[in-house]
Structure 1
Amino acid sequence: MTNFEKKYDVIVAGAGVAGVSAALEIARSGRSVALLEKTVMCGGLATAGFVYIYLPLCDGYGTQVSFGFAEELMHASARYGPGAPPPDWKNSAPGKTTKRLMLDFSPAAFTLAMDEMMSREPAIDRWYDTLVCASIVEDGRIKGVEVENKSGRGRVLADIVIDATGDGDVAARAGCAFHEEGNKLTIWALQTSLAVARQAAAKGDASGFLDFQMIGLEGENVDPAAKKKNYPWLGTDGKSVSRFTIETRAALLNHYAKLQSANNADTSRENLYPIALPTMAQFRTTRAIAGRATLDSGMAWKHFDDSIGLVADWRRRGSVWEIPYGAMVPLTVDGLLVAGRCISSHNDAWEVTRVIPPAAQTGQAAGIAAVLSLRKNIPPAQLAAADIQAELRRKKLPYHFDEVGLSAPESS
């Protein structure tokens, strides 16, 4: 039994960077959109998960490849807090220090900036503290989702649904095929210290207070006992999520306990301590849907006729990828799109596409596709990529390598 029912043009499940980008695109096109979020803040891993690095929008050699909301949100992330890309990022060259169009940001400041952007769009109805419990599928087409919040159980219906949960929750519950991978034991936390305060005071610059402690499975500070825990660290398994959360916090506790008991004034509990912990488990790869196209290792510099945007490899310079629209369209279930780190990517390609700029890029593309599907009264799977590309051209958003003056290296 349900307590309420609401109808919109589009549902976007998940208010991470992908979901926010999709919702903004849809609202600015004049369509109503319900943005459903299980936490009480937008931004996903970038904010609640403390993954506070806005990774590169450029190829590492001075050419910007990602634009639109990927760029707009980068600037928004530093609007109410510190952070700026290197002013000379365009001058990077082989043999020189890598400088890229990227920045570190305050998660809280980024959250406030995104809230401000969405507050200007009355067509976005934000549903915080709302858990998607089930997908409503009839005759092979998704019609909406069942949700649970303080009002009880309800149905949210729409003509198009975008899964931007990061975990593919809506797609999986709708019966879409997917694959999943495990994760390393990792936690990022915000700390403060007297040493950092002294440095900030000496420089007259408080940006140094963005002092994050990262502990990973392969790091030196992780609790050795935690390494021996035989858990797969799957973000799609309830027990694994609980154990991941427990073990990462135990590793962090062990780290500070050792420092604070070392009889060192600089690391005493008064002078060095954590001040904020992530409010969501920091899984990077969980589910990736089986799409009509799949990105995989070795596909950097591969041309796709149905490309909807360009993204850079954040790990190395000179590696750029096109993202095919087919990677956002499930093989089964009409009326559904995916955006963010649950698009159809495998192996090395998943490492490239799971981060902030590709999330914004696919989120905006999903928003465009949803609006065009509504306009043409067809499901997204029947939408021609050429129609999406026409809208991208109208917005001056490149989607092929040659449009930003790049071509595949001869060795690719």
Structure 2
Amino acid sequence: MKTPSISQTQTVAITERLPVSTGHEVIVAGGGVAGAAAALAAARAGKRVLLIEKATLLGGLSTIGLVNWFVPMCNGRGRKIMSGMVDEFVRLATRDSYDTIPEGWRDGGATGNPEVRYTTLFSPQIFAYTLAEYLSSAGVELMFDTIVTRPLMNGKHCDGLIVENKSGRSILTAEIFIDTTGDADILRRAGMPVVIGRNYFTYTGMEITLESCRRAVEHGDIRFVYQVLAGGEATLYGDHHPENLKKFNATDAADVTEYLLLGQKRMLEKLRTTDRHTRDICTPATMMQSRTSCRIDGDYTLQEQDHYRHFPDSVGAICDFDRRDYLYEVPYRTLVRSGYDNLITAGRCASGNGYAWDVLRVIPPAILTGQAAGSAAALAIDQHSPLPELKVADLQTVLQENQVNLHFDDSLIPRDGGGGSNEGGEPI
């Protein structure tokens, strides 16, 4: 056998001639809920939009990651906080699916049942299909099974993206690029300052058993047929993270592989303790279920202590999903970095620190920041403006016209300035 002529210490220069596509004004990389909202907002603003997704389904963590829960969208006292495309996506996720919207919140109004929070589960598979149908009908061009390998940078300006799929490698150009990969794949390779997170060991799939089938028939509700089977059971706060097990870096290929292999192994071990004729895995997670993998170091970084603080450049009010009363506003500056004129992010890559990063990354805020990023992209094209220098007042006008609640009402702040627990909330 011939000995390989390339050693591990070498680098190899490769020269290629790649075809170039110039048909789009906005390219969104990453088809989770943030990317879907960004693409939809830009398309509705009349832009030619391409949404690139590495998997074969849209929705990201909410679908192929099986985090199929719209976390609480109210303050825990009967007042809805998040709106705009958040409302639209809740309706879309539950239109053809089961739901768990509490009584008193089913009309989606500004006020609801003060005893329970406004939240719902949904079918991840059906939501993925309806997202694809919805975006396609809005004029968004979709490109599945495609990896963005790197941005082509001219200083801090992105000229295009190198992508690879079944058709080979090519270059896609646009005026604005939106990174909603969840891992800041484009932005960190573009040289933008980023912060790498570490993730606890959480790995889940959906199991179906004979008993769960009986339960579904008894209730007349298909959602009871599913139950969670966990290979990794760590909570948001690190409870049940295995002792002596490291936290995982979701931007490192070896770490991702180790995480997936360990999760699958432990899930298989649990299955083997039960009768093989009585259960099956009906839906495995097909991506790493990371919470905080990589985010930009934006022009502003949202902090936990920013609760109850108003920002003049707010692109939407959000609530803490795990604690009643705590309210935040999301500054536009968390989505951009000065100097990078045509790059913007949303969702899990937005600039938040510590627990504020957790508050930003879940489904409803991800949709909200995606809507803001897509709207900002369209405005930047129309105004010939670098994204960090965009007239935020114009963006806020667009968002308000599309039912986004930019600022929370001060009357909702508790008199003592504190807040309450989530009292019966579901674990994330």
Q: With structure 1 as the length reference, what TM-score do the two structures score? A: 0.91
User: Which SS does the other structure have where 2:305 is aligned?
Assistant: coil
Change (3 A) 1:196 1:179: same
**2-structure distance, mates of 1:78, 1:190:** 19
The answer to whether residue 127 in structure 2 is matched with residue 120 in structure 1 is: no
Give 1:322's match in structure 2, choosing from 312, 329, 332: 329
The answer to whether residue 177 in structure 2 is matched with residue 170 in structure 1 is: no
Change (3 A) 1:411 1:199: same
**Structure 2 residues without counterparts, runs of 5 or longer:** 1-15, 106-110, 419-428
Change (3 A) 1:203 1:350: same
Deviation at 1:196, TM superposition (A): 1.0
Residue of structure 1 in register with 2:8 after alignment: none
Residue of structure 1 in register with 2:257 after alignment: 242
Residue of structure 2 in register with 1:149 after alignment: 165
Give 2:213's match in structure 1, choosing from 183, 193, 197: 197
State the Cα deviation string for residues 85-126 of structure 1 (Å, max 9, x = none): 112245544xx5xx121101111111111011112122x111
Contact 2:316 2:368 in 1 (8 A): yes
State the Cα deviation string for residues 194-227 of structure 1 (Å, max 9, x = none): 11111122222222123222343448xxxx9x93
Give 1:411's match in structure 2, choosing from 399, 403, 417: 417
The answer to whether residue 341 in structure 2 is matched with residue 334 in structure 1 is: yes
Residue of structure 1 in register with 2:353 after alignment: 346
Deviates more, 1:194-203 or 1:346-355: 194-203
Seq. identity, %: 34
Residue of structure 2 in register with 1:264 after alignment: none
Residue of structure 1 in register with 2:12 after alignment: none
State the Cα deviation string for residues 39-65 of structure 1 (Å, max 9, x = none): 111000000101111112211111111
Deviation at 1:229, TM superposition (A): 6.2
Moved >6 Å (runs of 4+): none
Change (3 A) 1:409 1:154: farther
**Structure 1 residues without counterparts, runs of 5 or longer:** 261-267
TM-align CA RMSD: 1.8
Change (3 A) 1:189 1:343: same
Residue of structure 1 in register with 2:177 after alignment: 161
**1-structure distance, mates of 2:325, 2:232:** 27
Change (3 A) 1:321 1:130: same
How many residues are aligned here?
393
Residue of structure 1 in register with 2:292 after alignment: 285
Residue of structure 2 in register with 1:109 after alignment: 126
Residue of structure 2 in register with 1:182 after alignment: 198
Contact 2:325 2:412 in 1 (8 A): no
Deviation at 1:292, TM superposition (A): 0.6
Contact 1:3 1:152 in 2 (8 A): no
Change (3 A) 1:409 1:127: farther
Contact 2:339 2:388 in 1 (8 A): no
Q: With structure 2 as the length reference, what TM-score do the two structures score? A: 0.88
**2-structure distance, mates of 1:117, 1:2:** 36
**2-structure distance, mates of 1:2, 1:19:** 30
**1-structure distance, mates of 2:112, 2:222:** 28
The answer to whether residue 314 in structure 2 is matched with residue 304 in structure 1 is: no
Residue of structure 1 in register with 2:266 after alignment: 251
State the Cα deviation string for residues 16-57 of structure 1 (Å, max 9, x = none): 000000001111111001111111110000001011111122
Change (3 A) 1:207 1:13: same
The answer to whether residue 27 in structure 2 is matched with residue 11 in structure 1 is: yes
The answer to whether residue 56 in structure 2 is matched with residue 40 in structure 1 is: yes
Give 2:94's match in structure 1, choosing from 68, 74, 78: 78
